[in-house]
Amino acid sequence: MILLFLATGAWYLNWRLPALGLKVDVFIPTYNEDVEMVRRTALAARAMKYPHETWILDDGNREAMREMAQSLGVRYLARTDNAHAKAGNLNHALPHSTADLIATFDADHAPRQDFLLKTLGYFSDPNVAFVQTPQDFYNLDSFQNRTDPGSRVAWSEQSLFFRVIQRGKDYWNAAFYCGSCAVIRRQSLDAIGGFATGTVTEARRATVPSITTSRSPMAWHPPKSSLSSSSACAGGWAR
C-alpha cells in the first residue's frame, strides 16, 4: 500500500534551462578510492556543460591524487584529519567555496555532460533547496542488475527507489538528498549548519524543501561486486 501511495506521485517534471551567471562548484569527496577511478569521475565532472569549478576533496591526503588533480586543472583540497568522515570532508570544503550552488558526486559516480544543464534550471524557484537525480550502473553484469534483452530495459536494485519511490516522495515534498549526483543551494545548506555529522548517512539528515528530476539517469557508477559488499553498504544506510 505504501508503494502504491508513492507510485501515484511519481510524476514527470519538465526540466528548464538554467539562468546565466550562476556560480557552481562541484565537490568530489574521496578517501581511499583508486586514483584512476577518481580521475575518471573528475574528467566527467570537468566536461559538464555550464561554467563551473571542479574540486577533488581528498581525505587520504595523497600526493598522487594531488598530482592527478593538477594535471587535469581541477582544484585539490585535503585536510590533516578525517573527522566526521565524508560529511566532515564536505564541510571542510565549504569555507573555501563561494559558489551559489554545490554539486556533489561520490568518487565513483561519473556525471553526464548535460547534468548541470538539466538540474540548475530548477533553482529559478527560490523554494528549491536541492535537486537529487537518479543514479545508474555502467556495467550490467553485476548480480544487482536485471536486463530484458527483448525490451532493452535494464533495472538494478536501486531502480525502484530512484524511478518510483523517490519521485513519489517528491510529490509529497518528502524526497531526500542521497549524498551524490545532486545539486544543493548553498544558502539552504548553511541554514541547516552544513552536512550533518555524527551519522554514517550524512545525506538523509538534510531535511529541507527539495525537488527531484525526471527518471533519466544523470550519473553512472559501478555496482557492488559482491553480495557481502552490497550488504555492508545497505547496512550503513540502515544505521
Please count the structural domains in the chain. 1
**Is residue 113 one of the residues assigned to a domain?**
yes
Average pLDDT over residues 53-68: 98
What's the CA gap between 72 and 16, in Å, rounded?
30
Encoded amino acid at 39, one letter = R
Within a domain: 192: yes
d(CA 181, CA 26): 10
CA count, 13 A, side-chain hemisphere, 6: 16
Residue 151 has a pLDDT of 56
> Is position 54 within any domain?
yes
Count of Cβ atoms closer than 10 Å to residue 238 Cβ? 8
Residue at 125 is within a domain: yes
Residue located via cell numbers 559488499:
229
**Helix (H), strand (E) counts: the chain:** 9, 12
User: Which residues span the domain enclosing 193?
Assistant: 22-223
Half-sphere exposure of 53 (CA within 13 A, CB side): 15
Q: What is the pLDDT of residues 1-40, one digit of tens each?
A: 555 544 444 455 567 789 999 999 999 999 999 999 999 9
> Which grid cell sits at 125?
524557484
Q: According to the model, what pLDDT value does residue 134 have? A: 86
CA distances from 172 to 11, 133, 206, 214 (A): 11, 17, 16, 16
Are 47 and 117 a contacting pair, CB within 8 Å?
Answer: no
Q: What is the pTM of this model?
A: 0.79
Q: pLDDT of 148-194, one tens digit each?
A: 666 555 556 677 777 788 887 877 888 888 899 999 999 999 999 99
> What is the DSSP-derived secondary structure letter of residue 212?
E
In a domain, 108, yes or no: yes
Residue 233 lies in a domain: no
How would residue 217 be classed by pLDDT, with cut points 50, 70 and 90? low
CATH number for 66: 3.90.550.10
**Mean pLDDT (the chain, rounded):** 80
CA–CA dist 217, 50 (Å, integer): 19
Which cell goes with 159?
Answer: 531502480
Answer yes or no: is 237 within a domain: no
Q: What angle do CA 102, 173, 92 make, to 5 degrees?
A: 25
Burial 121-151 (b: 16+ CB within 10 A, else e): bbbeeeebbbbbbbbbbeeeeeebbeeeeee
Q: Give the E-state strand segments of the chain in sequence order.
A: 24-30, 53-58, 75-78, 101-104, 110-111, 130-132, 136-137, 145-148, 153-156, 182-185, 210-212, 219-221
Answer yes or no: is 196 within a domain. Answer: yes
Contact 107, 33 (CB under 8 A): yes
Quick: pLDDT tens for 107-116.
999 999 999 9
